[in-house]
Copies of this chain bind each other. A is one copy, B any other.
Amino acid sequence: MAQPKYLSGDAAAINEFLDRFDTFLLDCDGVIWSGDHVFEGVVDTLQLLRSRGKQVIFVTNNSTKSREQYLTKFTKLGIPAAADEIFGSAYSSAIYISRILRLPPGRDKVFVLGESGIENELRAEGVRFVGGTDPSFLRNMTPEDFRGIADGSLLDPEVGCVLAGLDMHINYLKLSHALHYLHRGAVFLATNTDSTFPSNSSLFPGAGSIGTAPLAYMSGKRPLPLGKPSQAMLDAVEGRFRLDRSRTCMVGDRLNTDIQFGVEGGLGGTLLVLTGVCKPGDWEKEDAPAVPGFYVDKLSDLLAAGSSSSE
């Protein structure tokens, strides 16, 4: 299997790399920031890419924020970006539901396990939903809940889809509703299936662990994931921008989401950065889901190109 090319410190190779692409799709967590900490040199690197005429698009699996909420975060952290350059798995899920899944009338509500980011994107696409951050679900199960869920009287007959994302307010009541909607034939979607979610230089339970793993185990059904590496995410990007896939590069820190996403999407290249989940050599493991075309220690190593070409 081909080995990835290491670019850090090699200005000529970096320039050659940059010349191959018109568009860069960038993961966020572990690439441009960790939580609220922006990695050093990232703003300058984005400036370099844009100054060379590259299109920069942010593609993240984190479903807790809508595009507007992400824009607020970018602005707060001093990273120039526009709302339509940002793609989260909440957005790709909403697009998939409204434009591809097209639930039949009368069965077109979505039961949401997740935060306001998902709700905002569903609302923007005109998709009706229940659950989510509705405070009436933030409580313990009562005997009446057990009875009403079992006999269906407490279920919404219009729900035809369960969408599971990262829900930091998960509880037994929400999981019981989701299970019964699945038993009644609801389509099972996941914003993403990341097992963990990075925060405070550590890992916390991810969307895949909180919603999809339990629901899959209890229902015996497998969800269709709509974040990376699902190509539904690339479809959402292409719905807004014309991409020449052969001149597009995916940049990320995870082999099983970012790099696999780029490889399966037939993109011209993939760049792994080592500031997140992956360590050098992870791509050599027998169960490596994908091998990147290139890798750098950190995103800002690309800055070497700028200084060499301008000198």
List A residues at the B interface (Cβ < 8 Å).
140-141, 146-147, 149-151, 167-172, 175-176, 179-180, 183, 195-196, 199-206, 208-210, 213-218, 220
Contacts and interface: CB of A to CB of B under 8 A. Distances in A.
A149 B204 CA distance: 9
Contact of A217 (B141, B170, B172, B213): B213
Given A204-B146, A205-B218, A170 B168 contact: no
Contacts of A201: 150
A151 B213 contact: no
Given A150-B201, A169-B172, A205-B175, A213 B210 contact: no
A204 B213 CA distance: 15
Contact of A205 (B140, B150, B151, B172): B172
Contacts of A149: 202, 204
Contact of A195 (B180, B210, B217): B217
A172 B172 contact: no
A199 B168 CA distance: 26
B205 A176 contact: yes
Nearest to A200: B150
Given A146-B199, A170-B170, A170-B171, A214 B204 contact: no
Contacts of A141: 168
Contacts of A210: 172, 175, 214
Contacts of A206: 218
A214 B196 CA distance: 10
A212 to B, nearest CB: 8
A117 to B, nearest CB: 16
A200 B147 contact: yes
A204 B217 contact: no
Nearest to A197: B218
A164 to B, nearest CB: 12
B217 A151 contact: no
Contact of A150 (B169, B175, B199, B220): B199
